[in-house]
């Protein structure tokens, strides 16, 4: 009997091909099939997943996604993370970075909430449990959606979709299937207030992951991490990954964290946790609200973290692996400073852009 295929066949102009399950995006289907494709945010913001469609047709989830410029649109470019194939397709994808060892393709997993803890006034640590192991690399992220999140009806004819958001794991991969995320309440957000205020033990969450390139590299270099706002979680995972290495006692970690106000500062406990295993671990925290606008008792540095990082106090900066996570303007500012002002090789700087 003929085999029926659920979904569509996608062929790339350099001769790769893969099946795209019904309703899945072009980008995710490629990654699930082990086809390297370039991407960062997986949610329409960064434009890294641009491609051109040579034949076939796709539905675009968000035709106005900020990742596409008007010029891109005129040239017929589309975003792989926003495209759902409606027919078999031929596409030209930009080949991704070399596939890393021990890579786990992203997949859908059902998980149960086992714990929700408050880290700050608007940041929750949500612990989930899956049946199988939690397979990812420290620093990676997953797309989360919860049954408690309303279904989104797009344009007529679209399959209804539950809204999802990208969150980074803050713990380490483990065979027990424990996944921890730090979720910040975005005022007026469509998803995060539900995660922060309504999610409770026993609730079901869907994890789609892992994704992301800003994972801990297995080199012998010492590490610098720079985290802003909700970029804390992946940097905590990177720090924990470093501390779990057999040679941790020889490794140095410099951890920089920037938040809006004194009430956002919570990196200290994580740096303390890893410091025992490492040769050294230092923390610099800064709040961005100026002193005259805040009455928060903060006595530490004030300003944007990229302006305060004591990069000059790190004489061997060029020999470090540097990880950056946070809002795109902060990530851009840090990366620009490292590359343009300090001449650091982009090979040593790792980040994913979130929106």
Contact residues toward ligand FES (CB under 6 A) are 39-42, 44-49, 67, 79, 81
CA–CA separation, 41 and 355 (whole Å): 7
103 vs 245, beta carbon nearer ligand FES: 103
User: What is the closest distance, in whole angstroms, from the C-beta atom of residue 236 to ligand FES in the complex?
Assistant: 23
47 vs 229, beta carbon nearer ligand FES: 47
User: What is the closest distance, in whole angstroms, from the C-beta atom of residue 229 to ligand FES in the complex?
Assistant: 19
User: What is the closest distance, in whole angstroms, from the C-beta atom of residue 103 to ligand FES in the complex?
Assistant: 17
Does residue 210 have a cis peptide bond before it, meaning omega lies within 30 degrees of 0?
yes
304 vs 355, beta carbon nearer ligand FES: 355
Q: What is the dihedral of CA 49, 191, 185, 349, to 10 degrees?
A: -10
Q: What tokens does 341 get?
A: 């002002």
User: What is the closest distance, in whole angstroms, from the C-beta atom of residue 26 to ligand FES in the complex?
Assistant: 10
31 vs 119, beta carbon nearer ligand FES: 31
Q: What tokens does 160 get?
A: 């209804």
- For 307, the 3-state DSSP assignment is helix
Residues paired with residue 53 on neighbouring β-strands, in sequence order: 91
111 φ/ψ angles, rounded to the nearest 5 degrees: -135, 155
Q: What tokens does 79 get?
A: 């975003």
193 vs 327, beta carbon nearer ligand FES: 327
CA–CA separation, 130 and 136 (whole Å): 13
User: What is the closest distance, in whole angstroms, from the C-beta atom of residue 207 to ligand FES in the complex?
Assistant: 18
């Amino acid at each position: 009997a003929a085999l029926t295929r659920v979904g569509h066949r996608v062929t790339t102009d350099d001769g790769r091909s893969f099946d795209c399950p019904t309703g899945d995006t072009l980008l995710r289907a490629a990654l699930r099939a082990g086809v390297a494709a370039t991407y960062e945010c997986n949610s329409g913001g960064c434009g890294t997943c641009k491609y051109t469609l040579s034949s076939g047709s796709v539905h675009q989830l968000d035709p106005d996604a900020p990742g596409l410029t008007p010029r891109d649109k005129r040239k017929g470019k589309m975003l792989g993370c926003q495209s759902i194939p409606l027919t078999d397709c031929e596409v030209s994808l930009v080949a991704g970075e070399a596939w890393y060892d021990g890579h786990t393709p992203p997949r859908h997993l059902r998980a149960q909430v086992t714990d929700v803890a408050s880290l700050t006034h608007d940041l929750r640590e949500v612990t989930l449990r899956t049946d199988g192991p939690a397979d990812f690399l420290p620093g990676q992220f997953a797309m989360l959606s919860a049954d408690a999140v309303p279904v989104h009806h797009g344009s007529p004819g679209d399959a209804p979709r539950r809204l999802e958001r990208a969150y980074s794991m803050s713990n380490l991969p483990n065979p027990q299937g424990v996944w921890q995320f730090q979720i910040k309440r975005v005022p007026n957000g469509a998803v995060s207030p539900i995660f922060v205020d309504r999610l409770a033990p026993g609730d079901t969450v869907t994890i789609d992951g892992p994704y992301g390139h800003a994972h801990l590299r297995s080199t012998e270099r010492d590490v610098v991490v720079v985290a802003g706002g909700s970029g804390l979680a992946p940097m905590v995972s990177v720090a924990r990954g470093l501390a779990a290495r057999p040679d941790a006692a020889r490794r140095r970690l410099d951890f920089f964290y920037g938040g809006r106000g004194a009430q956002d500062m919570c990196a200290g406990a994580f740096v303390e946790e890893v410091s025992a295993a490492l040769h050294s671990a230092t923390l610099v925290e800064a709040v961005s609200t100026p002193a005259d606008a805040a009455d928060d008792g903060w006595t530490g540095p004030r300003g944007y973290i990229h302006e305060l990082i004591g990069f000059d106090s790190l004489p061997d900066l060029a020999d470090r692996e540097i990880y950056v996570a946070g809002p795109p303007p902060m990530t851009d500012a840090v990366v620009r400073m490292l590359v343009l002002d300090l001449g650091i090789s982009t090979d040593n700087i790792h980040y994913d852009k979130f929106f």
